[in-house]
Chain A
């Protein structure tokens, strides 16, 4: 039986019934990594032994009748900007090539019963939308290996799409879970800001970073969110809002629901095949009993500018700690501290990261702060208000996840070109809203995704609508 092709919700039942063992399942997934990953480049570090050990422990516990979390034994991949105690966490940067954190992220502790098969590739420090800025290698799209997997959680998305993991975690600051999920034909959920603890996720833009699942089905995403959601005393931004039951209402259908279609997203320069798939998704929901209504998010056009100022500003501060003093890369033979700083950061960071640090430093500097950072925060509030207004008319929003199909590696090099990749995903981060990307089939042999954006802490609704879409378009095959 090709277990690695199955979604987690099916596998967890088979495991619970002891029809399969976690060790067997993990073995198969590791085999896929062995077979495919040289070419795909989804992983920076593969932890086969550790994964098998966890699997064996889970099997033993199950044999003894111990109570286990629902997803115990399901092979997991973690984006390599999530700290794992004693296991190197590189952020795909030379700066942290050999960095071993002395502690694990809260989400890692919560998922300790899931065999960890490895740490996945990303754009360096999660800055990018193609996983091409990784210090180590680009990640290739399992559907077409000449093309990118998207980013920055490209490694996690590609791994799940290729059966190199059953579930994975990514981080999403401006679309880094949803966009690669769409490119790789898998499900990606960015929870509400504050729903999942950020403790142990290496910060890029603290006010927007959020950890979320990348899975092969909507139900899997709901199960994963159930495991990782909740208040964490170690993250002051994590919310006390009670955690909902994400699976109980999942299959209730969408009859009577109002789905808002933001007209500004459709006015973007959408690839015709993306637009076609999007329209089909709308129709599918209407056929299922929902009504799609047009709504307006008038400040959408400013979202990207606001995002890059805020995200780069915060990043310039967050990444200042990589100074060669206490950990990570240190440039050799510096005559004094200042030179050591310059050389360490000059050599340790890649081009994209340095560009964003410079941009952010400028936006925060005296004389520029009011013109850029402060102004961006004000416009950010307007973007958030747009959503609030829209939600008075509808239950959730439906929009394309990306404007285009996965592009070829090296195809989009220009700065502004790459920055346009996040246009559809950025606004949800600015407003802190939950958003789910669901595959809606193929176009020219490449996956297309659509995105559902929900109200704060209303992941239930977007999961429910996402599940309904999945019923129409079917889960994608494992490549």
Chain B
């Protein structure tokens, strides 16, 4: 039996506002526990919510960047449930009249994934269980610094057909939200979180199969792996004639499996009702259009422009726009050193390697576009060789120093002086009569060996083309 995979994602993203969504407390990450709190975000009796306009602006920007229709009127609802980190025992969210509906994300294969809705809501606090896990904990501590930070929830249509597509959808979503400067989207700090709904159905069938909801997905890789596991598990259940149980399952990163958390019967009744403390949110058409006009160029458009303007291929342009900062860095460098493919290659290979090993983002490193451009110029005009350039890059990356100065200070300039090179070649040839003999008998490898010896003597600074030329001439004369 052949099954089709049907996946829908629910992504929560923290809005990058200075103040929380319904009070003026700071949203800064990592403060002393319960230091960014007030009567409202502690759920104290009598305190009331006041909607942060900046949060509405960011949420609107996100919705527009995702191609959604932003509604002139939306309303807030209370989602009621008891949990120690939910101070008022209800979350203010949006329900039947969300901020925005009907957007889409286009994947690199050209397929579009529909976005059902984007709505605003408030974060809960954080429980710190004092023990190995929640069940073994003797007691739990509550930190309400996070409580009341503005969130948007982005719900996709069940248009995703594979774990790989899910991962790409998330990458694109993250890039769009970062471009729109809506959120930091840091999964490790919890500013982006994802739950996945997945079901299987017979290929060709229009009906949806029974789904499971996956939680505790702490990285894009985890989303992909958990979905892969779940595809496997559900198809085995179906193939053996069983039925998938509708339930919420949690991903165990260490064991690489999902396991049941709660069944449909245990699902909570959230008793949604309109939030009486907040008036309906009314947005003016003109204001929405103003926000739209302020949207930056989004990653997909930028990638297409890079292909056209710089002649990059699909893959390279995709990598260059993966974050706004990378794309900005790329363009700044190309402006100073107008060889777009060369710049892209250096960024994708050497710079990427340094970023990975230092666990940094391009904007966090000390590398500057003007320094990368300068480095590439030095290679181009023959001042340094490609291999020396890698060393210089490492240093400039670590210190922010100009490549020129590094080259000068360390005497890394290429030896392009013919007279000087001839002397070195002469001494190498003299010291290696066997290789010279090999060369004469037509063994091509010998030339390479002799060039290597010149490089060794010059610590890699001999101009390779010139060395080759002189060496050949020298050998012919012998």
Q: Give the interface of A toward B (CB within 8 A).
A: 82-83, 89, 91, 96, 99, 101-103, 105, 198-203, 205-207, 233-237, 313-314, 316-317, 320-323, 325-327, 337, 341, 361, 364-366, 369, 373
Q: Are B49 and A317 within 8 A (Cβ)?
A: no
- B88-102, CB < 8 A from A: 88-90
A321 partner, pick from B51, B87, B278, beta carbons under 8 A? B87
The answer for the CA separation of A105 and B43 in the assembled complex, in Å, is 15
- Looking at the assembled complex, report how far the CB atom of B193 sits from the nearest CB atom of chain A, in whole angstroms: 23
The answer for the CA separation of A235 and B22 in the assembled complex, in Å, is 11
**A101-B46, A236-B50, A317-B78 known; A207+B273 contact, CB < 8 A:** no
B90 partner, pick from A82, A102, A317, A337, beta carbons under 8 A? A317
The answer for the CA separation of A234 and B47 in the assembled complex, in Å, is 8
B42 within 8 A of A: yes
Q: Are A235 and B142 within 8 A (Cβ)?
A: no
- Looking at the assembled complex, report how far the CB atom of A324 sits from the nearest CB atom of chain B, in whole angstroms: 9
- Looking at the assembled complex, report how far the CB atom of B433 sits from the nearest CB atom of chain A, in whole angstroms: 86
B39 within 8 A of A: yes
Interface string of B270-285 (1 = CB under 8 A from A): 0111001111000000
The answer for the CA separation of A200 and B43 in the assembled complex, in Å, is 12
**A206-B276, A326-B142, A361-B271 known; A201+B84 contact, CB < 8 A:** no
| 20 A–B contacts, CB within 8 A, in A order | A83-B46, A89-B45, A199-B47, A200-B46, A201-B46, A235-B48, A316-B80, A316-B271, A320-B80, A320-B82, A321-B44, A321-B45, A323-B89, A325-B84, A326-B43, A337-B84, A364-B80, A364-B273, A365-B271, A369-B272
The answer for the CA separation of A233 and B40 in the assembled complex, in Å, is 14
- Looking at the assembled complex, report how far the CB atom of A1 sits from the nearest CB atom of chain B, in whole angstroms: 38
Residues of B within 8 A of A366 (CB): 269, 271
- B247-295, CB < 8 A from A: 269, 271-273, 276-279
Q: Are A314 and B276 within 8 A (Cβ)?
A: yes
Residues of B within 8 A of A96 (CB): 45
Residues of A within 8 A of B269 (CB): 365-366
- Looking at the assembled complex, report how far the CB atom of A206 sits from the nearest CB atom of chain B, in whole angstroms: 4
The answer for the CA separation of A205 and B269 in the assembled complex, in Å, is 21
- Looking at the assembled complex, report how far the CB atom of A109 sits from the nearest CB atom of chain B, in whole angstroms: 13
The answer for the CA separation of A355 and B78 in the assembled complex, in Å, is 21
- B420-476, CB < 8 A from A: none
Q: Kindly count the residue-residue contacts between A and B in the assembled complex, taking CB atoms under 8 Å apart.
A: 98
Residues of B within 8 A of A365 (CB): 269, 271
- B28-66, CB < 8 A from A: 39, 42-51
Residues of A within 8 A of B44 (CB): 101-103, 321, 326-327
The answer for the CA separation of A102 and B34 in the assembled complex, in Å, is 14
Interchain residue pairs A-B with the least CB separation, the first 8: A320-B89, A206-B276, A364-B271, A207-B276, A202-B45, A200-B46, A83-B46, A321-B43
- Looking at the assembled complex, report how far the CB atom of B270 sits from the nearest CB atom of chain A, in whole angstroms: 8
CB closest residue in chain B, given A198: B48
- Looking at the assembled complex, report how far the CB atom of A137 sits from the nearest CB atom of chain B, in whole angstroms: 22
CB closest residue in chain A, given B23: A234
Residues of B within 8 A of A322 (CB): 45
The answer for the CA separation of A388 and B271 in the assembled complex, in Å, is 32
Q: Are B278 and A236 within 8 A (Cβ)?
A: yes
A199 partner, pick from B46, B51, B273, B279, beta carbons under 8 A? B46
**A103-B39, A314-B276, A337-B84 known; A236+B271 contact, CB < 8 A:** no
The answer for the CA separation of A82 and B45 in the assembled complex, in Å, is 9
Residues of B within 8 A of A341 (CB): 82
Q: Are B46 and A237 within 8 A (Cβ)?
A: no
The majority secondary structure among interface residues of chain B is loop
Residues of A within 8 A of B47 (CB): 103, 199-200
Residues of B within 8 A of A101 (CB): 39, 44-46
- Looking at the assembled complex, report how far the CB atom of B121 sits from the nearest CB atom of chain A, in whole angstroms: 16
Q: Are A203 and B273 within 8 A (Cβ)?
A: no
- Looking at the assembled complex, report how far the CB atom of B51 sits from the nearest CB atom of chain A, in whole angstroms: 7
Q: Are B51 and A236 within 8 A (Cβ)?
A: yes
Residues of B within 8 A of A89 (CB): 45
The answer for the CA separation of A306 and B414 in the assembled complex, in Å, is 89
Q: Give the interface of B toward A (CB within 8 A).
A: 39, 42-51, 78, 80, 82, 84, 87-90, 140, 142, 269, 271-273, 276-279
- Looking at the assembled complex, report how far the CB atom of B127 sits from the nearest CB atom of chain A, in whole angstroms: 10
The majority secondary structure among interface residues of chain A is loop
Residues of A within 8 A of B277 (CB): 203, 206, 236-237
CB closest residue in chain A, given B88: A321
Residues of B within 8 A of A369 (CB): 271-273
The answer for the CA separation of A432 and B297 in the assembled complex, in Å, is 48
The answer for the CA separation of A233 and B272 in the assembled complex, in Å, is 26
CB closest residue in chain B, given A82: B46
Residues of A within 8 A of B276 (CB): 205-207, 237, 314
Residues of B within 8 A of A91 (CB): 45
- Looking at the assembled complex, report how far the CB atom of A211 sits from the nearest CB atom of chain B, in whole angstroms: 11
The answer for the CA separation of A341 and B177 in the assembled complex, in Å, is 39
Q: Are A237 and B279 within 8 A (Cβ)?
A: yes
**A317-B80, A326-B142 known; A203+B46 contact, CB < 8 A:** yes
CB closest residue in chain B, given A336: B135
- Looking at the assembled complex, report how far the CB atom of B90 sits from the nearest CB atom of chain A, in whole angstroms: 5
- Looking at the assembled complex, report how far the CB atom of B67 sits from the nearest CB atom of chain A, in whole angstroms: 30
Residues of A within 8 A of B51 (CB): 236
Residues of B within 8 A of A327 (CB): 44
Q: Are B80 and A325 within 8 A (Cβ)?
A: no
CB closest residue in chain A, given B267: A366
Q: Are A236 and B48 within 8 A (Cβ)?
A: yes
The answer for the CA separation of A321 and B249 in the assembled complex, in Å, is 28
CB closest residue in chain A, given B274: A377
Residues of B within 8 A of A373 (CB): 273
CB closest residue in chain B, given A194: B279
The answer for the CA separation of A326 and B45 in the assembled complex, in Å, is 11
Residues of A within 8 A of B271 (CB): 316-317, 361, 364-366, 369
Residues of B within 8 A of A203 (CB): 45-46, 277
Residues of B within 8 A of A205 (CB): 276
CB closest residue in chain A, given B81: A320
Additional pairs, 16, CB under 8 Å, beyond known A314-B273, A365-B271: A89-B45, A101-B39, A101-B45, A102-B39, A202-B45, A236-B279, A317-B78, A317-B89, A321-B43, A321-B44, A323-B82, A323-B89, A327-B44, A361-B271, A369-B272, A373-B273
The answer for the CA separation of A205 and B45 in the assembled complex, in Å, is 13
CB closest residue in chain A, given B275: A206
The answer for the CA separation of A321 and B87 in the assembled complex, in Å, is 6
The answer for the CA separation of A285 and B244 in the assembled complex, in Å, is 75
Q: Are A234 and B48 within 8 A (Cβ)?
A: yes
The answer for the CA separation of A313 and B87 in the assembled complex, in Å, is 19
The answer for the CA separation of A89 and B44 in the assembled complex, in Å, is 12
Among A200, A237, A320, A364, the most chain B Cβ lie within 10 Å of the Cβ of: A320
The answer for the CA separation of A313 and B90 in the assembled complex, in Å, is 13
Among B44, B46, B142, B276, the most chain A Cβ lie within 10 Å of the Cβ of: B46
The answer for the CA separation of A337 and B80 in the assembled complex, in Å, is 17
- Looking at the assembled complex, report how far the CB atom of B273 sits from the nearest CB atom of chain A, in whole angstroms: 5
CB closest residue in chain A, given B134: A337
CB closest residue in chain B, given A366: B269
The answer for the CA separation of A235 and B50 in the assembled complex, in Å, is 7
Residues of A within 8 A of B50 (CB): 233-234, 236
Residues of A within 8 A of B273 (CB): 313-314, 317, 364, 369, 373
The answer for the CA separation of A327 and B87 in the assembled complex, in Å, is 10
Q: Are B90 and A326 within 8 A (Cβ)?
A: no
CB closest residue in chain B, given A208: B276
Q: Are A325 and B48 within 8 A (Cβ)?
A: no
The answer for the CA separation of A201 and B89 in the assembled complex, in Å, is 18
The answer for the CA separation of A198 and B276 in the assembled complex, in Å, is 12
Residues of A within 8 A of B87 (CB): 321, 325-326
The answer for the CA separation of A316 and B49 in the assembled complex, in Å, is 18
Among A236, A322, A369, A373, the most chain B Cβ lie within 10 Å of the Cβ of: A236
Q: Are B45 and A320 within 8 A (Cβ)?
A: no
Q: Are A321 and B84 within 8 A (Cβ)?
A: no
Residues of A within 8 A of B46 (CB): 82-83, 101, 105, 199-203
